[in-house]
Structure 1
Amino acid sequence: MKRRVLIYLKFSGLLILMVVLFAFASKRNEQRKINEVLIEFVEEQDPYVDEITVNKLLIQNQDRVTNVGKEILVLNTVEQKLDAHKMIEHSDVYLTVNGELRARIKQRTPIARVNAVTPFYVDVTGNTMPLSDSYSAHVPIVHNVSEREVIQVFPLLKKIQEDEFLKKHVVGVYLNVEGNYELELRVYSFKLVFGKIENLDNKIRNFKAFYQKALRDKSLEKYKKVSLQFSNQVVCTIK
């Protein structure tokens, strides 16, 4: 009987000790300040938003985040602030046991710039985003297209962004008065009439075949207009 009482007392004492240690550690953790802020941009992206901007978004109650106790730092709120920024696609904010506040930032990716009264980017999801104060994206410029027409031209912009050949050669997209899209090429001066946003894969395949043949024949400079708008053919106009 005495042995059972002794075991019970030892177990109770150990439990009390664990509770005290946990409470002490929690209190100490609450009082510990954040001693460093580390910002990481995931993937290799151009700097459309910089560390200074992110650091400002990490500030709470107008105090520097490095002086804020862990107990008053609400990480979900901080993430929501970052995710609401027009240049940020996703963020992940967390604290380390060493008192470091870490923020992993995934930026939005622009694939075209629309030359409107107030210029803007179109991102990889088809949504619009403002221009960056930190960096100017090297993407095709879209002319004569309004914000509401972005959804119409987006499939073509996405194809240009995904296709290495088009990405290398196409620097501009223009909607002409006839409602057809024209592509401006980086090197060659001929007008490339793409037509309506339809049969994209077929038109791109036809253009690549034409380009390779004309390149071998050294005839690319002879044309003033190349049209892809007709089914299964490339119609060329000589200068």
Structure 2
Amino acid sequence: MFGFIEIRHNGRLCTDIQINIENEADNYFLSTEDVIRLMTNGGKEKVLNNSFSNISIKTLEKRVKEGNAFVEKCQIARNLKGVLFVDVTLKRPIARFIRKSKADVYVDNNGVVLNVLRKFTARVLLVTQSERTAPLDFKRNKQDKELLEMIRYIYQDPFLKAQIAQVDVLKNQDMILYLQLGKQVVDFGNLNQWKSKLDRFKVFYKEILPRKGWNAYRKISLRFDKQIICE
């Protein structure tokens, strides 16, 4: 009986393709048209109005996942009416790295490096490394791994994400933070005790600035343990 049902099912035509792209509302690295193009191998192979006996769902999933670096997962299913359901999950960039003499790249939550596309610019934290020439390595380079942890922490904290616009990593690995609002520059020091420094940054923004005024200081230093130095 199952064999008979499978034969009838495979003989049906694909009558419709319904595509759902998770994160598409604020992550336009992949469109519905892009998914169709990947599924059809650039328009060379017919899917819509084609018999399911000629369609391999595993092949379609593989094309979508491997055809675009921003695709994290692709799952395809069909129903008895011949409708093909395509669910795509995109990787979400959390920072954009800008380096001298190198193309800009995005980095996602897992440290995957993604090329910047012209079609869409993600509004994420900027990380500038003007003096760096070595490639990013978030798996084996201890400094890169620690920096990714800090970037991930900023991204997941609504307050920090809204306040910090750019992290400038200097040649000696010290960092300068530039803010979304205000003219203050934050002397962050190196990555040592970065979480404690970010906690002190919150104290400065929530308790000191409201009392002293938003333009009272031009520079804030967090590099020294348990201290907030305002100039």
TM over 0.5: yes
Q: Percent identity?
A: 22
SS in 2 for 1:55: helix
1:86-235 equivalences under 5 Å are 86-116=69-99, 117-144=102-129, 147-148=135-136, 150-235=144-229
**Residue-pair matches, total:** 217
How far apart are 1:70 and its partner, in Å?
Answer: 0.8
Alignment-derived partner of residue 50 in structure 1:
31
Deviation at 1:124, TM superposition (A): 1.3
Alignment partner, residue 12 of structure 2: 32
**Whole-angstrom distance in 2 between the partners of 1:158 and 1:115:** 17
1:10 paired residue number = none
SS class of match (1:221)? coil
Residue pair 2:150, 2:195 contacting (<8 A) in 1 also: no
Counterparts of 1:219 and 1:27 in 2: how far apart (Å)? 74
Specify the alignment match of 2:54 in structure 1.
72
Q: Which runs of at least 4 in structure 1 moved beyond 3 Å after TM superposition?
A: 25-28, 149-152
Instruction: Answer whether contact 1:112 1:123 (CA < 8 A) is retained.
Output: yes
SS state at 1:173 partner: strand
Summarize deviations over 1:41-63 as a string: whole Å, max 9, x none: 23554222111111111115812
Could you give the per-residue CA deviations for residues 196-232 of structure 1, whole angstroms, max 9, x where no partner exists? Answer: 2232221111111122222222334122221111111
Instruction: State the alpha-carbon separation in 2 of the partners of residues 142 and 102 from structure 1.
Output: 38
Q: CA deviation at 1:131?
A: 1.8
2:69 pairs with 1:81: no
Please state how far the C-alpha of 1:67 moved relative to its aligned partner: 3.5
User: Which runs of 5 or more structure 1 residues have no equivalent in the other structure?
Assistant: 1-17
Normalising by structure 2, we get a TM-score of 0.85
2-structure distance, mates of 1:218, 1:64: 66
CA shift at 1:102, angstroms?
1.0
Normalised by the length of structure 1, the TM-score is 0.82
Q: Secondary structure at the match of 1:179?
A: coil
> C-alpha displacement at 1:159, in angstroms?
1.3
Tell me the secondary structure at the aligned position of residue 122 of structure 2.
coil
1:156 Cα deviation (Å)? 1.7
Q: 1:165: Cα distance to partner?
A: 1.0
Shift of 1:99: 0.4
User: Which whole-Å CA distance do the structure 2 matches of 1:73 and 1:165 have between them?
Assistant: 48
How many angstroms does 1:26 deviate by?
A: 4.0
Question: Partners of 1:162 and 1:91 in 2: how far apart?
Answer: 25
2:163 and 2:103 map into 1 onto residues whose CA distance is 26
